[in-house]
Structure 1
């Protein structure tokens, strides 16, 4: 794996604003709106509350993406920090819809975010006529302000109604599902390629029901940008992580990277290349009620295609020739 380069401060600050913007919305803007209720400016939070109630179902109906937000220059700085790139192996014809498996989850899913939630790596030019949506936890869309920010970037709810809507209204829609989910975050350790996939078959069933093509992807370098402290399953910390997941829907991971100064430790990720390789789509028939045997058949085809995709590109993007892709 290439050594981490020292990025410039603009790239580093741009990267920090991504998680900090969500924290600011949750811990600053929302309390501010509550405080405004008790001031002469009370109509502002009142109007937003009315808007929120009227707009409640939008996340389940395709969301509300913004070309302006997806083209913010700050995303280019984040892309250049690592850098992040996308590699197309086959065209995705816009007359079809697609369910794309995103692997691996990593800790913060930098590759999927830059490639599918922004135009920093030129998705629209790489796959003309395709509208990408990256699915995430449904409860994020219940949080005022944050929901609007997520939808502006083309992020959608991972709920079944939201995905069904996108796959049944027009063509050229691509829904990216991080199949391994938050459980895979604990597998995000440098020099490992372990995916939680063997029993994750819901995305295949959904694709069959809607006649959407399956698209395998693998993001090389996603698990290399942070070191993670791994706790034994019998430890108190692991039990706390499990409890945290049951409450909030994701794991509390202990990780570290680099600081602003050379050779220092901090929360900035290591600036190592991240490459998302998009594989050839797998055509699926449309079956309203697919049998388990049919789901198993196409799930096996998908796993085989993903394995071949990894093997074809692993040595080119930082993995050793002996590195194996493991399915849990």
Structure 2
């Protein structure tokens, strides 16, 4: 009873977090369904992100157009005017919010899988960095949780470093979704945005690029460790031009949270996927997870599999405004070797066998 009164008094004082603290103090025997309820909250926290990423932008665009033909047209007009004025903000460092990055919902998001962030080396705040994130998976859950929120304590583990996760530029053309993404410190993966962060925003910036992109997601299946990297050299050239150190990052378990139907390379189904990838910027994958209420049914809820993101040792990169192809190839090869070493060193600690191999294509 004292616990319940304490929680109620917290609400009266405007501190909703007191309810969560008080409920966690309730003995397990007095609330037999506590673990099930907590699991459902975790699922909801994950699904709000999945559905936001898939449908929030399209839904808000449709609503904005619809409101122009109603009595609420003035709201749409004002928002559209502000959208035009604010159009370049994503390319100029965005508009991150520490409040949003520290939402309690992200802690439930983290605990569902769970997701962990492992630091192997210190990063100096007087340098800028480009993190190469591997593998893409289906939704990049590890990348978002570790670098788009503070759920795994990035800023505490890497003091003085500000992460900016780069994603499809098209997402920042959609109303409301663009603001949601920017609040987490997420930026467009284009030259203007990355140039600004690495050249006009001081030091201590870490741009996180999912190097394999959409092409890599087509190879995302449980038990397969495949990254698309051999011909991906643009991020290395950019690092040389800006003098930003390269940091390999590998997420063990990222490919395990969904099961995907993989089509053979010579089939028409794979050709359609490739074609749509070029047109849309992302690859339409045929995948499934588990159901919302029953774990043994099919659905869009990801499987509860641990994801461990390991941030490797930085590769010091000199600043060369016009790097030669040989210089790019040299640092690209150094990056591949560093990623390979990172994978081999930590694979047995996070669920893989000694015989498991990282395939680089």
TM-score by length of 1: 0.95
- Give the SS at the match of 1:315: helix
Between structure 1 and structure 2, the one with the greater Rg is 2
- Give the SS at the match of 1:187: coil
1:192 and 2:224 matched: yes
Following superposition, which runs of at least 4 residues in structure 1 exceed 4 angstroms of deviation? none
Q: Which runs of 5+ in 1 are unaligned?
A: none
Query: Residue 227 of structure 1: CA displacement?
Result: 1.0
8 Å CA contact 2:240–2:321 kept in 1: the answer is yes
The structure richer in helix per residue is 2
- Give the SS at the match of 2:127: coil
In the alignment, the residues of structure 2 paired with residue 294 and residue 262 of structure 1 have an alpha-carbon distance, to the nearest angstrom, of 50
1:25 and 2:56 matched: yes
Q: What residue is the counterpart of 2:259 in the other structure?
A: 227
Q: What residue is the counterpart of 1:154 in the other structure?
A: 185
8 Å CA contact 2:60–2:175 kept in 1: the answer is no
Q: What residue is the counterpart of 1:309 in the other structure?
A: 342
Query: Which of 304, 310, 327 is equivalent to 1:277?
Result: 310
Counterparts of residues 196-215 of structure 1 (less than 5 Å): 196-215=228-247
1:82 and 2:110 matched: no
Counterparts of residues 1-328 of structure 1 (less than 5 Å): 8-169=39-200, 170-259=202-291, 260-328=293-361
In the alignment, the residues of structure 1 paired with residue 57 and residue 174 of structure 2 have an alpha-carbon distance, to the nearest angstrom, of 8
Instruction: Summarize deviations over 1:229-287 as a string: whole Å, max 9, x none.
Output: 11123333223222321221111101112223142222211111100000111111111
In the alignment, the residues of structure 2 paired with residue 324 and residue 293 of structure 1 have an alpha-carbon distance, to the nearest angstrom, of 28
Query: Residue 25 of structure 1: CA displacement?
Result: 2.6
- Point out the more displaced range, 31-40 or 149-158: 31-40
Query: Residue 24 of structure 1: CA displacement?
Result: 4.7
TM-score by length of 2: 0.87
8 Å CA contact 2:61–2:174 kept in 1: the answer is no
- Point out the more displaced range, 189-198 or 231-240: 231-240
> Which gives a bigger RCO, structure 1 or 2 (Cα 8 Å, sep 6+)?
1
In the alignment, the residues of structure 2 paired with residue 12 and residue 312 of structure 1 have an alpha-carbon distance, to the nearest angstrom, of 32
Q: Which runs of 5+ in 2 are unaligned?
A: 1-34
Q: What residue is the counterpart of 2:18 in the other structure?
A: none
Query: Residue 75 of structure 1: CA displacement?
Result: 1.1
In the alignment, the residues of structure 1 paired with residue 317 and residue 302 of structure 2 have an alpha-carbon distance, to the nearest angstrom, of 38
In the alignment, the residues of structure 1 paired with residue 65 and residue 189 of structure 2 have an alpha-carbon distance, to the nearest angstrom, of 29
In the alignment, the residues of structure 1 paired with residue 264 and residue 330 of structure 2 have an alpha-carbon distance, to the nearest angstrom, of 36
Query: Residue 38 of structure 1: CA displacement?
Result: 2.5
Q: How many residues align?
A: 324
In the alignment, the residues of structure 2 paired with residue 74 and residue 194 of structure 1 have an alpha-carbon distance, to the nearest angstrom, of 31
Question: What's the C-alpha RMSD, in Å, of the aligned pairs?
Answer: 1.6
